[in-house]
Copies of this chain bind each other. A is one copy, B any other.
Amino acid sequence: MSKLLAVGTVAFDAIETPFGKTDKILGGSGTFVGLAASQFGVKTGIVSVVGGDFPKAYLEMMNAKGINTDGVEIVKDGKTFFWSGRYHNDMNSRDTLITELNVLEHFKPVVPKNFKDAEVVMLGNLHPLTQASVLDQMEVKPKLVVLDTMNFWMDIALNDLHQVMKRIDVITINDEEARQLSGEYSLVNAAKKIHDMGPKYVVIKKGEHGALLFNEENMFYAPALPLAEVFDPTGAGDTFAGGFCGFLAKTEDVSFENMKNAIIYGSNLASFCVEKFGTQRMEELTREEVTERLHAFKQLTQFDIEIE
């Protein structure tokens, strides 16, 4: 079993959906990645930063799930990153109400000594230079580096993004961002161009429409599980990425065929994440529930045409 190092935010979220609203609750990309990866029992280390206002109980909950938080810096006189958003009725779009960077503004990730040899590295959605600084600290070249990014960094730090993209294996990106980054409307052509920018594997996230994995001439498509109710989409993308990385770290097999399975696991976990507010569903999720839902994914996608 490989070690997984994940850099990302550990934060407060306040969320409004048509189903209700929350006060400040636990959120952040690093948190969701860690919780998803914890399903596989892999040794996961989170690199992040929080303020003195961050409840110790949250870190303890993560530690109890086997998530190493030695790399989560606590700035005693600082405040934790805070995001607040409101989802529209269709749950596919949202307005950001508040973004307080706080301690994240001067975040300099420090990789703990015993994760400098992590085989799998997940670079969460942060400034490309911050992502690069994590790779600079690795003492052993990782087997697999996965990078998540967004349109914001394409707008303000495209050159830095291009630089770090040369050092990674997998990029996860949504469909609109893939189009922006490549200048291509067709996702097939977009993936080809992004591939030429560095990553051998391109994962395009399409929200309720699922996710596509591209590698050279190979394509794989995993649907999102159609759900009667999406309660809160926050963290679904990070949970997807955490499931993807966690499964690959556990199985130590980064072939295209095994990445298909990793994508299914990512979609599986994401389908739970949206069932309750914030991290709640992921905190209580059991291995049995995950296994049961894998059957649903098989039912949903597998067919048996005999090809003559």
Contacts and interface: CB of A to CB of B under 8 A. Distances in A.
B230 A226 contact: no
Interface string A214-239: 00001111110011111000000000
A304 B210 contact: no
Given A186-B229, A295-B307, A220 B264 contact: no
A218 B81 CA distance: 42
B221 A223 contact: yes
B218 A299 contact: yes
Contacts of A261: 303-305
Contact of A228 (B186, B209, B230, B295): B186
Contact of A305 (B206, B227, B294): B294
Interface of A: 89-91, 185-189, 206, 209-210, 212, 218-223, 226-230, 257, 260-261, 264-265, 291, 294-295, 298-305, 307-308
6 closest cross-chain pairs (CB), A and B: A209-B209, A221-B223, A260-B303, A188-B228, A261-B305, A188-B226
A301 B305 CA distance: 12
Contacts of A219: 226, 299-300
Nearest to A192: B228
Contacts of A91: 185
Contacts of A300: 219-221
